[in-house]
Amino acid sequence: MTSASLSGRRIWLTGASSGIGRAVAQELVRRGSLVAASGRNVTALQDLSAKCGPDRLIPVPFDATDRSATTAAARTVQARLGGVDIAFFNAGTCEYVDPRRFDSRLFERVVQTNFMSMVYGIEAVLPLLRESRTPYLVGMSSTVAYGCLPRAEAYGATKAAIKYMLESLRLDLAAEQIPVSVVCPGFVRTPLTDLNDFPMPFRIEVDEAARRIADGMARQDPEIHFPKRFSIPFKLLAMLPAGLYNRVAARLVRAS
């Protein structure tokens, strides 16, 4: 498939208020897609619609952590777009764990926002995708899903769960010819990563990330990971025996 294959596709994208989601929404519109953009920030979505053109990008604000609201949003998207060809669930957050003050409520927040929001979305959209001639499901994970990192006990766990869930769904949905892609970016410059207090090797700009994601979606790559100069070495590092991985990771942390 080529990038032209995204032209005319009806796409529901969550997490579009800012960061990667916002940039991906603009990139998809540029490639000719009709996008229903969702998030909680109504003003940001309205501004995005004005920039992209209200005939090409339709704001559908809702709280992705609310199952009922997600179901209602899916109905709205179906009505506004006339159907859904691609669903890209991108909503997410990041909170780092302080093991000296281990807080289960932090885990609840991150799991609800990152993982359960995607579960709710998939539950709501699968019936709509089954009505499309060209259905396609995409979800946002992270390179942190490849291997554990310090303070990422909550964030990394959700991203690993997302990767596993989507890869399992790929197997189950193959008979229905519904491809599934998992997106695993490295560090991308966004308002969320701007809050990080540690080095972020090979961090790329958000517009470049959006282009790489759209390219991967056009090809329907099973796994869209980038930048390769970071994601591939990290994959290889994660394949080391646990003891060796822990020693290497600890050395990298001390160096940081």
SS3 186: coil
Question: Rounded to whole angstroms, what are the CA distances from 14 to 50, 153, 174, 190, 202?
Answer: 18, 24, 24, 16, 26
Catalytic-labelled residue, pool 96, 136, 155, 164: 155
164 catalytic? Reply is no
CB 57 within 8 A of CB 13: no
Torsion sign across C-alpha atoms 135, 141, 142, 143: negative
Burial zone of 119 (CB within 10 Å; 0-12 exposed, 13-18 middle, 19+ buried): middle
Q: Which residues are the active-site residues?
A: 155
